[in-house]
Amino acid sequence: MSNAPSEVTPPNRKMPVVFLAHGAPPLLDDAAWMGELSAWATRMPRPESVLMLSAHWEAKPAQLAATTTVPLVYDFYNFPRRYYEVRYPAPGAPALAARVRDLLDAKAIAHGDAPSRGLDHGAFIPLMAMYPQADVPVLQLSLPGLEPATLASFGRALAPLADEGVLVVGSGFLTHNMRSLGQPTPAWAVEFDAWTAEKLAGRDLDALVDFRARAPAAGLAHPTHEHFAPSIVSTAIAVERGRGDVTFPVVGFWNDWSFTRRSVQFA
């Protein structure tokens, strides 16, 4: 009988893969939007843990945030004091962190640890709506840069998590141009939102990776594309794991501005 250690394959606990529009601190005062996120979470299976990839954290190499409960990152400015007093003491997810390291190692993707780094608002704002009791372990993982092909490879490396009880959440905005803040929804935002919806519904990862060349008004929708980047990671996971049922649990434009609230579930 061999005494060699055997690799243990985690049991199949299939979870959806999602990308969501994370709003900003005022989302906490938007009862309708908070309600949509809450209802969405209720319809999904309850995850054993959550892996968050937020537009607000990019690092090379990829970094794993705290695996214990640490203070939040209030990465926003000039808001009322109450937003800086918000707490979301979700448990850390050390077992998930170990699994992520293994998956990245298997694909020779460099990574590091940021043990004092808490959840940023791209993570904790939507989680406060979806899991308000802060009783689901959460790990935040940085984006490994913004190069779309790299993001797709990153997603493929993380794909097994979707069958292991982990809800992988890409958090950003499918349109994000701060120069248009407060202006009525422009035609370019509607066109880009519609194009992206079509490509997400078709799980057309190649088109999303090449969105700068293929999408209408890409430069207006994303002068910089950190908010689009998490959608590429989520779609890559969905394609890799064969998630074919695509729905949009939240749609419409925030305050009738240029920011689409469109969020996607690959089930």
Please state the domain extents for the chain: 17-266
pTM score, two decimals? Answer: 0.94
Instruction: Give the domain 17-266 fold.
Output: Protocatechuate 4,5-dioxygenase; Chain B (3.40.830)
CA distance 204 to 192: 15
Side chain identity at residue 53, one-letter code: L
Which parts of the chain sit beneath pLDDT 50? 1-9
Please give the pLDDT value at position 4: 41
Please give the pLDDT value at position 10: 54
How far apart, in Å, are the Cα atoms of 223 and each of 26, 50, 209, 226, 236?
23, 29, 16, 9, 23
DSSP H or E segment with residue 219 = helix 218-221
Please give the pLDDT value at position 3: 41
